[in-house]
């Protein structure tokens, strides 16, 4: 109950604690705030997670009311409170550190207490007057941290992946646009950083776009894994303290509240400690980050120079590149995106270890898995949008440099192999390299082919796709 000094006294297992009336959280949240001064990253940093908790608690209240376990009037107040929490109005009252012991109990109680106190104010009651709406007895009815917490994580992950996929779409469109713009720009392909055979810059950029499309499919599979939740499991999956029909009802209400097809796992004993959705998401992120980092490195190589490197393309100049070298411009956007990718690759190990370390019927290390995935998803989303708008969209091709590399490349001898044989092709390649001659000139000089035949065979535009052997 509140007193005239602007505080209220709340009680829990440990004892009494004074709570300022300005706060909507209660005693258990306050203790967690004192105990877990770890990362400095509190729940309010991830509003998607808070929204997910509001949806879980609203769905639970609706299911409990349908089963006659919760008074309809109280259900309405709890649901209204959940809607207000969902709106973001009370984000500042989610103060527990993302790193915490207790398998997420502190986070769950932070949500329960805020929702209960918001509901009490809507009733015209005072904060802490829990006889009318109790964090555990009413907001947490038919639940345990062990089902509501992972369910909220799954919902938040699903929504964050959806936002990330939107960023992927932006990047794919950027690469597609450049692929079309560069479709006629002949250049030299390279393997092992050595000249290989001709291609177009458009083909190279189309490869980037389609590689990213593949990543999106793996992320969609991970997103689908997030749709299976363990609501109704309560403590360990047996459903203790829940109604026999609760899982059936909570599945309906969860879908109704979220607008997505969430399903309750068939085996809640299996589902409660299971980390499949986290592992699938982390694995998809790691794979994609690895590939995107490779694309960033390719762009840095292709734009190297501008005078003494490959410089087949120019990246947008975003800022001065040196405090000592005037005129220097660095590829800062691929560099920063690469760093985000390296971070994500490293964080996959954290998720794997957290998943493996859970014992028996519960994984107590879900908080670090959730924190790691939320951070990785947000960083990659921001990085991909930055990559698309501040780098890829502004890339320009140096068409003359690209074509000149093709014409003087030793790699053109590969196209002559079917006509003069491997031995003669090797001889020509070696001599052209030693004497700094063009392959085409040397083949004509040695009388292996005529000028007309060589020009027909090594016409760059005809070397970028399969073709039948030319008959002379």
CATH number of the domain enclosing 57: 1.10.275.10
Q: Report the Cα 169 to chain-centroid distance in Å.
A: 13
Q: How far lies 148's CA from each of 116, 164, 235, 272, 438, in Å?
A: 16, 24, 10, 10, 70
67 phi, psi to nearest 5 deg: -90, 0
Same domain, 197 and 336: yes
Arithmetic mean of pLDDT over the chain: 94
Q: What is the mean pLDDT of residues 195-223?
A: 96
Q: What is the mean pLDDT of residues 105-125?
A: 97
Angle between helix 145-181 and helix 366-390 axes, rounded to 10 deg = 20
Confidence of residue 455 (pLDDT cuts 50, 70, 90): confident
Is 261 part of any domain?
no
Catalytic residue numbers, as ranges: 322
Q: What is the mean pLDDT of residues 197-216?
A: 96
**For residue 182, what pLDDT is reported?**
98
Q: What is the mean pLDDT of residues 267-279?
A: 96
Question: How far apart (Å, rounded) are the C-alpha atoms in residues 239 and 218?
Answer: 33
Among the listed ranges 17-21, 89-93, 283-287, which one has the minimum average pLDDT value? 17-21
- For residue 327, give the CATH number of its domain: 1.20.200.10
Same domain, 63 and 206: no
Is 284 part of any domain?
yes
Among 154, 140, 153, residue whose Cα is nearest residue 367: 153
- For residue 414, give the CATH number of its domain: 1.10.40.30
Q: What is the mean pLDDT of residues 87-96?
A: 97
Is 162 part of any domain?
yes
Same domain, 199 and 153: yes
Higher pLDDT, 415 or 106: 106
Same domain, 429 and 374: no
Does position 407 have pLDDT exceeding 90, yes or no?
no
Is residue 117 within 8 Å of residue 123, measured between CB atoms?
no
Same domain, 20 and 44: yes
Is 470 part of any domain?
no
- The count of domains in the chain is 3
Residue that finishes a domain, picked among 342, 363, 398:
398
Same domain, 93 and 201: no
**For residue 440, what pLDDT is reported?**
87
Question: How far apart (Å, rounded) are the C-alpha atoms in residues 131 and 100?
Answer: 29
Q: Residue 307, SS3?
A: coil
**Which tokens hold the place of 315?**
């990246």
Q: Report the Cα 153 to chain-centroid distance in Å.
A: 14
Is 415 part of any domain?
yes
Is 262 part of any domain?
no
Question: The domain containing residue 292 runs over which residues?
Answer: 148-233+268-398
Same domain, 306 and 351: yes
Which pLDDT tens digit goes with each residue over 159-182? 999 999 999 999 999 999 999 999
Confidence of residue 468 (pLDDT cuts 50, 70, 90): confident
Residue that finishes a domain, picked among 82, 116, 141:
141
Residue 67 DSSP code: T
Higher pLDDT, 143 or 196: 143
Same domain, 433 and 331: no
Residue that finishes a domain, picked among 90, 122, 141:
141
Same domain, 183 and 293: yes
Same domain, 340 and 200: yes
Same domain, 159 and 136: no
Same domain, 315 and 192: yes
**For residue 5, what pLDDT is reported?**
57
Is 355 part of any domain?
yes
Does position 122 have pLDDT exceeding 50, yes or no?
yes
Which pLDDT tens digit goes with each residue over 235-255? 999 999 999 999 999 999 999
Question: How far apart (Å, rounded) are the C-alpha atoms in residues 62 and 221?
Answer: 30
Confidence of residue 2 (pLDDT cuts 50, 70, 90): very low
Does position 45 have pLDDT exceeding 90, yes or no?
yes
Does position 220 have pLDDT exceeding 60, yes or no?
yes
Is 243 part of any domain?
no
What share of residues in the chain are helix, strand, coil (percent, to 5)? 60, 10, 30
Does position 194 have pLDDT exceeding 60, yes or no?
yes
Does position 439 have pLDDT exceeding 60, yes or no?
yes
């Amino acid at each position: 109950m509140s007193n005239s000094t602007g505080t209220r006294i709340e009680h829990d297992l440990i004892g009494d604690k004074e709570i300022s009336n300005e706060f909507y959280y209660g005693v258990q949240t306050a203790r967690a705030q004192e105990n877990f001064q770890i990362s400095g990253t509190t729940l309010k940093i991830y509003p998607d997670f808070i929204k997910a908790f509001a949806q879980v608690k609203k769905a639970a209240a609706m299911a409990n009311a349908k089963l006659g376990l919760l008074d309809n009037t109280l259900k309405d107040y709890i649901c209204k409170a959940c809607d207000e929490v969902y709106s973001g109005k009370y984000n500042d009252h989610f103060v527990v550190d993302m790193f915490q012991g207790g398998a997420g109990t502190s986070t769950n109680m932070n949500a329960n207490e805020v929702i209960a106190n918001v509901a009490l104010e809507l009733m015209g009651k005072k904060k802490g007057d829990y006889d009318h709406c109790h964090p555990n007895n009413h907001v947490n009815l038919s639940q345990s941290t062990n089902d509501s917490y992972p369910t909220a994580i799954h919902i938040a992950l699903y929504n964050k992946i959806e936002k990330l996929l939107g960023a992927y779409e932006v990047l794919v469109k950027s690469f597609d646009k450049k692929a079309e713009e560069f479709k006629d720009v002949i250049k030299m392909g390279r393997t092992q950083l050595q000249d290989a055979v001709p291609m177009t810059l458009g083909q190279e950029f189309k490869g980037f776009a389609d590689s990213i499309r593949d990543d999106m499919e793996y992320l969609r599979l991970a997103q689908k894994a997030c749709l299976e939740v363990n609501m109704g499991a309560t403590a360990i999956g047996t459903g203790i303290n829940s109604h026999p029909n609760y899982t059936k009802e909570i599945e309906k209400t969860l879908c109704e509240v979220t607008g997505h097809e969430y399903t309750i796992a068939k085996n809640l004993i299996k589902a409660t400690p299971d980390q499949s959705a986290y592992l699938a998401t982390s694995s998809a992120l790691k794979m994609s980050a690895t590939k995107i980092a490779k694309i960033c490195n390719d762009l840095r190589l292709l734009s190297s120079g501008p005078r003494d490197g490959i410089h087949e393309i120019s990246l947008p100049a975003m800022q001065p590149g040196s405090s000592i070298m005037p005129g220097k411009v660095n590829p800062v956007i691929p560099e920063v995106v690469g760093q985000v990718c390296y971070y994500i690759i490293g964080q996959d190990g954290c998720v794997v270890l957290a998943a493996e370390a859970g014992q028996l019927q519960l994984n107590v290390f879900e908080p670090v898995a959730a924190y790691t995935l939320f951070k990785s998803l947000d960083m990659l989303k921001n990085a991909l949008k930055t990559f698309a708008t501040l780098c890829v969209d502004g890339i320009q091709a140096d068409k003359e440099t690209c074509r000149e590399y093709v014409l003087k490349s030793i790699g053109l001898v590969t196209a002559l192999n079917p006509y003069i044989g491997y031995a003669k092709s090797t001889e020509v390649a070696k001599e052209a390299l030693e004497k700094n001659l063009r392959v085409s000139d040397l083949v004509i000089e040695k009388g292996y082919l005529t000028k007309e035949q060589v020009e027909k065979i090594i016409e760059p535009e005809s070397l970028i796709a399969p073709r039948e052997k030319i008959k002379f």
